[in-house]
């Protein structure tokens, strides 16, 4: 896959221990993406990263709702909210970018989910779909037109970031083997990953594997 290094940026979505084995919201094999991301990093001149950065009483945490369990859903003013295990707590060691991650080309680290009353999957908007993170403005002022994304989890924060980027007019590619999915069941025979893929391909988001980027 060819891309213009001057207008393309590598986006690392939530590559944090909190989403890896032993973390608060562990994604199966989430730690295995770090070496692959490090192998891909030298292919790019520019990169950015995001971090989930929640207050301890965040309304997306099941622990903030008595008698509720993780992965139940509730209705909040901005829509249906999955209740998650506590994760990405601001300032905690597991909320940091993974210690082994190559950060040499990361020019921006964006922290999201800071408002205790609104969850934030996407790198571009909080889950009310109105409150912007500021990433779009930064990318446009820097002249980036193409995003190549990786990280955790494919079907939530990566997918929502890709969807918003595509709707904002960017060319978007997901490096699928540099991601891992939570894949919660939705209807019989389908998961949140199946639904994310359908939604994204309709918007023109491409799925590739890391070998497609090799030069």
- For this structure, is 114 an active site residue? no
Asked if residue 174 lies in contact with residue 199, where contact means CB atoms within 8 angstroms, the answer is no
Asked if residue 60 lies in contact with residue 120, where contact means CB atoms within 8 angstroms, the answer is no
Query: What CA–CA distance (Å, rounded) separates 183 from 199?
Result: 15
Choosing from 14, 52, 119, 155, the catalytic residue is: 14
- For this structure, is 14 an active site residue? yes
- Pick from 157, 204, 150: nearest CA to 177: 150
- For this structure, is 164 an active site residue? no
- Pick from 121, 175, 122: nearest CA to 150: 175
173, two tokens? 């590619």
> According to DSSP H, which parts of the chain are helical?
33-40, 135-142, 159-167, 192-202
Choosing from 31, 157, 164, 179, the catalytic residue is: 157
Choosing from 112, 119, 150, 164, the catalytic residue is: 112
74, two tokens? 């509730």
Asked if residue 174 lies in contact with residue 203, where contact means CB atoms within 8 angstroms, the answer is no
Give me the active site residues, please. 14, 112, 157
């Amino acid at each position: 896959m060819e891309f213009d290094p001057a207008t393309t940026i590598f986006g690392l979505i939530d590559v944090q221990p909190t989403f890896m084995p032993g973390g608060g919201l562990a994604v199966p094999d989430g730690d295995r993406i770090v070496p692959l991301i490090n192998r891909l990093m030298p292919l790019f001149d520019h990169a950015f990263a995001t971090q989930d950065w929640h207050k301890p009483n965040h309304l997306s945490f099941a622990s903030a709702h008595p008698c509720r369990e993780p992965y139940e859903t509730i209705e909040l003013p901005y829509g249906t909210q999955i209740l998650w295990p506590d994760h990405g707590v601001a300032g905690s060691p597991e909320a940091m970018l993974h210690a082994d991650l190559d950060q040499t080309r990361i020019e921006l680290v964006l922290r999201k989910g800071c408002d205790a009353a609104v969850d934030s999957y996407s790198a571009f908007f909080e889950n009310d779909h109105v409150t912007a993170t500021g990433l779009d403005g930064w990318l446009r002022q820097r002249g980036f037109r193409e995003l190549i994304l990786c990280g955790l989890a494919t079907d939530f924060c990566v997918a929502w970031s890709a969807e918003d980027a595509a709707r904002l007019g960017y060319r978007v590619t997901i490096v699928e083997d540099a991601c891992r999915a939570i894949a919660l069941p939705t209807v019989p025979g389908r998961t949140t990953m199946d639904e994310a893929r359908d939604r994204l391909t309709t918007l023109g988001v491409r799925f590739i594997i890391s070998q497609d980027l090799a030069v």
